[in-house]
Chain A
C-alpha cells in the first residue's frame, strides 16, 4: 500500500513538474504578460512539488524548505497577478495583497529558522497563515474567473472554469491535509488526496492549452445554437449590414474569440463585434497574424474577410478553428451575396416606383399647357385656323389626351405600388357604369367597329369604386377595339348570377397566343407581335385593371383564340353578396366555365 502511495506521490509531483514545463514552453512560444504570470505560477508550483518530493524527509534542509515555502507563496501570488492582467485589481486590494505576501514571507522565515522547537499549535498556526495567504491569492481569482466566465462564449467559458476548478481542488487539498493532521496520515487518505491532486493537473492544463477535441466538444452547444441561428442569419437578415453583424457576432461566439469583424470586397469594414471599426480597419489592413484568423469571403465583386481576434482569454487558435472558420465564411459569403441581390432588387423596385411617380407628376405640368393651348386653338380662341390647321389641332388634341391617359395610368400604377391607392366604394348599378364606360370610348369607335351593349333587364347592384370600375371596363372596350384592326363587333355583356356580376367584353380581333397570356396582366407586359407592334400603350392597363378588380373583391379573366378574338371578363361581387358576407369585399373565385361568354374555345387563361 505504501508502495502505491509513494508511486502516486511521485506521479503527482511529476505531473506538476510537467505542467510547469508545458506552460513554460507555451510562454516561450507565445510571450505575453498574462501568459507569463500563469506560467510563473505553475512553474513555481511544479518546483515546490519537486523540492517537496526529493528532499530528505527526516532531515529537511532549512534553505530548501524556505525556498519551497516562498515558491509556494509565489505560485499563489502569480495567480493573483494573472487575474490582475484580465481584471485589474484596485490599488488598495493590490497593496493589501503585497502586505499579505510580505507578512507571509516573514512567517515562512520564522517557521523554518525559529519555530522548529515551538509548540505544535504555533507550528499549525504558522502553516495555516501560509496556506490561508495562498488560498486568498488563488481563491479570489477562482471566484472572479468563474463569475466572469458566465458571460463568455463556450470555449473560453469552459477554460476559465477548468482553471478555477483546478485551483479550487488544490486549495481544498491543502486545507484538508493541514487541518486534518494525523487523521489523514493513513495511506488510503494520502492516496485519495494524491489522486485528487493528480486530477487537478489536467484540469489546469486544458485551461490554457485545450486540445482540439476538447475545444470541439465545448463548442458543440454553441454550434447547435449557430445551426438554429444560421437560417435566420442567412435567409432572413433584412440587409447585408445586419447579416454581416450577425455573422461577426456568431463567429466570435462560435470560436470563443474576443472580437470579430467583416470586411467587404472593397476593403471597407462592414460590421464589427466587440471591436471598434477603426481598430478593425487597422487589423484588416495588417492581415492575418497569430492573434487574428481571417477567412476569405468570396463575394461577387471580390474578396472580403471574416476575421476573429484572439484576446487574453483566448490565446489559442488551432488549425481546427481555421478550417471551421473557412466553412463558416463560405456560408456567410453565400448569404451576403443573396442579401446584395435582394437589396439591389428592392432598390430597383423602389427607384422604379419613385421614378414612375416623379416622372408622371412632372409630366402633368407640360401636358397641362399643351392641352390648354390645343383646346384654345381648336376653339378658335387664338385666332382662326385654316382647314389644315383645324385638322392638325384635332389630331394634337387626340394625341395630348392619349398622353394624358398614359400619365394617369403611370400615376395609378405608382400609387398602387406605394400602397397609397384608396378605393371609394359606393353602391351603384353596374349597367350605368358600363354605359358610362361605353360613352367614354365613344370617340374611338370608328365606322369599322361596332360596340354592342348586352345589358340585363334588372339592375345589377354592386358596391364599387365607380370611377375606377368605369375605367377598367372602358379600358377593356378600348383594348378590344385597338386589337381588332380589321374592324368588327365588340360586345359587352353584363350578367349577374349567384352573387357574382360579370362584365364580358368580347371582340373578333387578333386574339392572343397561349404563350403570351401570362404576360398580359404583368406590369408593363405587352404582347408584341407584327400585328400589334404599331399599337401604343403603356402595358399598364390590364395590370391596373386586375389589381383594382382584386382590390374590390373581384378579378379579370381572359379566354382567347389566336386569330378569332378574345373575351376579357371582369368579375365583381354583387352588393347583396357583399352584404351577406358582412364585409367590404368578398373574394370571387374566378371560374373557368364561362357560360355567358361566346364559345371561344381554348386556349384559356384564368386568374393566376
Chain B
C-alpha cells in the first residue's frame, strides 16, 4: 500500500516508463521504451489485414533459435506474418526478395554483426524498412551507434517481453512509413 504525503501529486511526465514495473533495473538512458500507449496488437493487426489484405510482415534476424521461436509464437498469435533469418546473409537476401514491413535485428550474428548488416543495408536498400535492434548489450555507446546507423529503436532483450514488442510493432511500422515519406 502506497500512501503519498502529497496526494495531489501526479507526476507530470513519466520520462522513463520502465517496461518491467516490478524491477528496480539499472537502466541506462535510452534502452527502454519511451512512454506511449500500448496498442492492442491483435486488433491492430486485424485492422491492417482488413484494410490492406495482408498482415504486417516481420523479419526477425536472430541466431538464437529459442528466442526466435518464442517471438514467433507471440507475433504469429497476434496476427503478424513472421520470417526468421538466423544469419545476416539470409536476412539481407530475405529483405531484398520479400520486402518485410519491419526488421527486428540481433547484434551478435554468426557471420556479420548487426551494425555491419545495418551499414550494408543502408548501402544496398536506402529505402529499407524500419529496423529495431534487440540486443543482449545495453551499453550507451552501442545504443548511440545503433541509432546513428538508422535503427529506430534499440532495446535490451532481457528488459522487454515479446508481448511488449508485439504491441509496439504497428507504431514502429507507421513511424518507418512516415520517415520514408518524409525523405522522398
Give the B-binding residues of A (Cβ under 8 A): 361, 364-365, 367-369, 371-373, 375-376, 379, 381-382, 397-398, 401, 404-405, 407-409, 411-412, 415, 420, 422, 424, 426, 428-429, 431-432, 435-436, 438-445, 447, 449-455, 457, 465-468, 470-471, 474-475, 478, 544
- Asked if residues A440 and B18 are in contact (CB atoms below 8 Å), the reply is yes
Chain B residues with CB under 8 A of A475 = 24
* Contact A379-B21, Cβ < 8 Å, known A411-B138, A435-B4, A455-B5: no
* Contact A409-B136, Cβ < 8 Å, known A365-B64, A438-B2: no
- Asked if residues B139 and A453 are in contact (CB atoms below 8 Å), the reply is no
- 4 A-B pairs with least C-beta separation: A412-B26, A368-B157, A375-B161, A364-B158
Which residue of B has the minimal Cβ distance to A548? B26
Give B121 Cβ to nearest chain A Cβ, in Å: 24
- Asked if residues B16 and A467 are in contact (CB atoms below 8 Å), the reply is yes
Give A551 Cβ to nearest chain B Cβ, in Å: 13
Interface assignment of B20: CB less than 8 Å from any CB of chain A: yes
A453 CA to B10 CA in the complex, in Å?
Answer: 13
A445 CA to B6 CA in the complex, in Å?
Answer: 19
Chain A residues with CB under 8 A of B67 = 365, 368-369, 372
Chain B residues with CB under 8 A of A449 = 1
Chain A residues with CB under 8 A of B3 = 450-453
Which residue of A has the minimal Cβ distance to B135? A364
Please give 18 more A-B residue pairs, beta carbons under 8 A apart, in addition to A368-B136, A453-B3. Answer: A361-B137, A367-B158, A368-B67, A376-B70, A376-B163, A381-B77, A404-B159, A407-B158, A431-B9, A439-B2, A439-B21, A440-B22, A440-B23, A440-B24, A454-B5, A455-B5, A467-B29, A474-B24
Give A2 Cβ to nearest chain B Cβ, in Å: 97
* Contact A466-B158, Cβ < 8 Å, known A401-B20, A404-B20, A455-B6: no
- 30 contacting pairs across A/B (C-beta < 8 A): A364-B136, A364-B156, A368-B157, A369-B66, A372-B162, A373-B70, A375-B161, A381-B74, A401-B20, A404-B20, A404-B23, A404-B159, A412-B26, A431-B6, A440-B18, A442-B21, A444-B22, A450-B1, A450-B3, A451-B3, A453-B3, A454-B5, A455-B5, A455-B6, A467-B16, A467-B28, A468-B26, A470-B16, A471-B24, A471-B26
Give B143 Cβ to nearest chain A Cβ, in Å: 11
Interface assignment of B119: CB less than 8 Å from any CB of chain A: no
Chain B residues with CB under 8 A of A371 = 158, 161
Q: In the complex, how many residues of chain B place their beta carbon closer than 8 angstroms to a beta carbon of chain A?
A: 45
- Asked if residues A409 and B26 are in contact (CB atoms below 8 Å), the reply is yes
Chain A residues with CB under 8 A of B162 = 372, 375-376
- Asked if residues A376 and B25 are in contact (CB atoms below 8 Å), the reply is no
Give A390 Cβ to nearest chain B Cβ, in Å: 16
- Asked if residues A408 and B2 are in contact (CB atoms below 8 Å), the reply is no
* Contact A544-B26, Cβ < 8 Å, known A431-B9, A453-B4, A466-B16: yes
- Asked if residues A432 and B28 are in contact (CB atoms below 8 Å), the reply is no
A435 CA to B14 CA in the complex, in Å?
Answer: 10
A286 CA to B26 CA in the complex, in Å?
Answer: 61
- Asked if residues B26 and A436 are in contact (CB atoms below 8 Å), the reply is no
A471 CA to B24 CA in the complex, in Å?
Answer: 6
* Contact A435-B138, Cβ < 8 Å, known A447-B1, A453-B4, A467-B29: no
* Contact A376-B5, Cβ < 8 Å, known A409-B26, A412-B26: no
